Structure 1
Amino acid sequence: MIDIFLAKFYKAIIIVLMAFLLLGGIGLSIQSWRVDHCQAEYQLLDVKFKTQVAESQALTEKAKAEAASKEKQWSEQLLKAEQNYNVKIKQVLADATRAQSVADRLSKQLDTAKSRMSTAPKETIIKYVNTSSDILKECVDKYRTMAEAADGHAVDVGRLSEGWPE
């Protein structure tokens, strides 16, 4: 019975089988094209990714080089500031030593004048008091000027310390 059925419809069966094979071949061709297309996209994305990685590495190296350059510049600037500071400190110490020497000489002169005060004439004592008063006024003025400068410096240091990035 199956033989009769097959014999009667063998042409139709062959056509169906041919259509099935044709559709299968078309399906395989489409899938092959899709695989090739996906591989091409993958390769394109892989190339883009590698390019981006290379660019990122180049930017990182550039940033490292700039940071090293900036650090070197700051280090040199700090070293120069330290050297200038040391020169100024030496000058301040020399000035302080000189001022101490002058103060010691003045103190000795005052002690000598004080010891002679009891035997000095009245006019000399008046000159001494007037001169001492003038010297005291000048010392007070200098002290006030120095105190104002020190206070201004302290305010500047505070402002810089508060404004300095942490």
Structure 2
Amino acid sequence: MTYLYLAVKAWREILIGLLAFILLICLTLLNHKTGQIEKFKQTEIVLQAENAKAKASAALKEKKWSEQQLKAEQNYNAKIKQIESDSRLANASADSLSKQLKIASSRLSSATCEAKTEYIEIESNVLSYCVREYTKMAERADAERVDKEKLDEAWPSD
């Protein structure tokens, strides 16, 4: 009973103490939440910096790959031109050889029998055909080789 009497008599002081205690708890919670907000802000800044670094790195890689692809394309075009030049030279050589064989076969036709002439003509035709086919095959093989080199050069490497 005496406690109740004291509580009723000092109700203002008890209420002030209780409010001070609640205020202290609120200030503690506020300080804790402020610390969490600051921590999240710092984390966000770090994430933004990492994101910027990642974007810069990706841009550098893309530029490198683009330059590598452009260089491969230029090499490809130069090699294709070289192949075409080689093909024209091979065709010219083959035509020259065919002409020489025709001249030789025409000279031999007057020299001896008809069988030799026919043999030389057939031989000339077979050789001309072989030269043309070998030239086409070499041209296709060179073009395929250059295509593979272009793909190897253009392929991104880390």
Give the secondary-structure state (helix, strand or coil) at the position aligned to 2:63: helix
Query: C-alpha separation between the residues in 1 aligned to 2:97 and 2:57?
Result: 59
Change (3 A) 1:88 1:77: same
TM-score, L = length of structure 1? 0.65
AA matched with 1:30:
F
1:75 to 62, 66, 71: 66
CA deviation after TM superposition for structure 1 residue 14, in Å:
6.7
Task: Give the aligned partner of residue 42 of structure 1.
Answer: 33
Task: Give the aligned partner of residue 29 of structure 1.
Answer: 20
Task: Give the aligned partner of residue 58 of structure 1.
Answer: 49
Instruction: Answer yes or no: is the 8 Å Cα contact 2:105–2:120 preserved in 1.
Output: no
Change (3 A) 1:109 1:92: same
Instruction: Answer yes or no: is the 8 Å Cα contact 2:105–2:117 preserved in 1.
Output: no
Structure 1 vs Structure 2 CA RMSD: 4.0
Q: Is there any run of 5+ residues in structure 1 with no aligned partner, and where?
A: 1-10
Query: C-alpha separation between the residues in 2 aligned to 1:45 and 1:12?
Result: 43
CA deviation after TM superposition for structure 1 residue 12, in Å:
8.9
Check if 1:91 corresponds to 2:82.
Answer: yes
AA matched with 1:20:
W
TM-score, L = length of structure 2? 0.68
Query: C-alpha separation between the residues in 2 aligned to 1:48 and 1:81?
Result: 49
Query: C-alpha separation between the residues in 2 aligned to 1:113 and 1:18?
Result: 142
Task: Give the aligned partner of residue 118 of structure 1.
Answer: 109
Larger Rg: 1
Give the count of matched residue pairs: 146
Q: Deviations over 1:93-116 (max 9, x none)?
A: 110110111111122223333434
AA matched with 1:82:
E
Q: Percent identity?
A: 37
Query: C-alpha separation between the residues in 1 aligned to 2:84 and 2:45?
Result: 58
Q: Is there any run of 5+ residues in structure 2 with no aligned partner, and where?
A: none
